[in-house]
Homo-oligomer: A and B are copies of this chain.
Amino acid sequence: MKLATYQNHTRDGQLMVVSHDLSRAVAVPHIAATMQAALDDWSNVEPALQDTYRALSRGDAPHAEAFDPSRCHSPLPRAYQWADGSAYLNHVELVRKARGATVPESFYHDPLMYQGGSDNFLPPCAPIPLRDEAWGLDFEGEVAVITGDVALGTGVEECGRAIRLLMLVNDVTLRNLIPSELAKGFGFFQSKPATAFSPVAVTPDELGDAWHGGKVHLPLLVDYNGRRYGEPDAGVEMQFSFPELVAHVAKTRALCAGSIVGSGTVSNHDRRVGSCCLAEQRMIEIIDGGEARTPFMKVGDTVRIEMHDAGGASVFGAIEQTVVAHG
């Protein structure tokens, strides 16, 4: 099943069921008004949503219309939690290697994770507002899950069963604000402005064989200014599966339905597949040549993040954003 949220001048938008091929969509106010409402009451609501999804795919859903990603808000325009892991350790290894440091052994069994702001996500096709180019704007292509309720102390296997939906992510980052925030020791804050998610969130079964072991075994396609910048496989070298990342959150607290848990920047050791963020290329440049040459994003730059299934069809629709000057 595929779901989206249309912007409708309310804060949480209008829940839409979207056809498998992303061609058609239908509002379902009689089932659930918003994505969060559906997640809050998932066991009761999901069967009716699935019925609508099947009808839509058969072509007999009344009031269905052409699906228009430009009308989409984030599947959850605002969420109660956005916790982002950093499960692709190649990315971490490059960052460390570029500054002459090694990756602590603990990083291979204890996930890195930061708490992100979740009160105001950017729509998938909305501009990225930037107040100052000197802040070093970067994109980060990721995959994320949306969970149901997860009790405190829930184990990995049960956390896997609590995964309701998957999305793609542009974890927008202000790289030049990171060093001083890391020095303060309280983690990322101003360096992580509003995040964007894909137009469509999908149930795990939509991925077919590509969803196994709690990972998405498909390349993440990232285009920067119209050219392919990276296409690493999200199922390769992901050190921690999504169930493990969710269990990391649940170790000391319960998760509310609608919590978003991210993978971190998708990254493979194979350099031929490119990168899902500019910082990683800069690290490779530093490692290879002593200095970073790739600049960060400038006003007018564009990024597109998408994922195709084995047949070449877009699974989640595309995040398509342009950087605009703000204020």
Contacting residues, chain B, for A251 (C-beta < 8 A): 131, 190
Name the residue on B nearest A118 (C-beta). B80
Contacting residues, chain B, for A249 (C-beta < 8 A): 117, 189
B187 near A186 (CB under 8 angstroms)?
Answer: yes
- With A110-B180, A118-B81, A187-B114 known to touch, is A252 a contact of B174 (CB < 8 Å)? yes
Name the residue on B nearest A248 (C-beta). B190
Contacting residues, chain B, for A115 (C-beta < 8 A): 114-117, 187-189, 192
* Complex: A255 Cα to B118 Cα, angstroms: 9
Q: Is A11 engaged at the interface, CB distance under 8 Å to the other chain?
A: yes
List A residues 172-199 near B (Cβ within 8 Å). 174, 177, 180, 182-194
Contacting residues, chain B, for A183 (C-beta < 8 A): 104
Most buried by B among A114, A116, A119, A258: A119
B180 near A117 (CB under 8 angstroms)?
Answer: no
- With A81-B118, A112-B184 known to touch, is A135 a contact of B252 (CB < 8 Å)? yes
Chain A residues proximal to chain B, CB less than 8 Å: 11, 40, 78-81, 83, 86, 104, 106-107, 110, 112-120, 129, 131, 135, 152-153, 174, 177, 180, 182-194, 248-249, 251-256, 258-259, 326-327
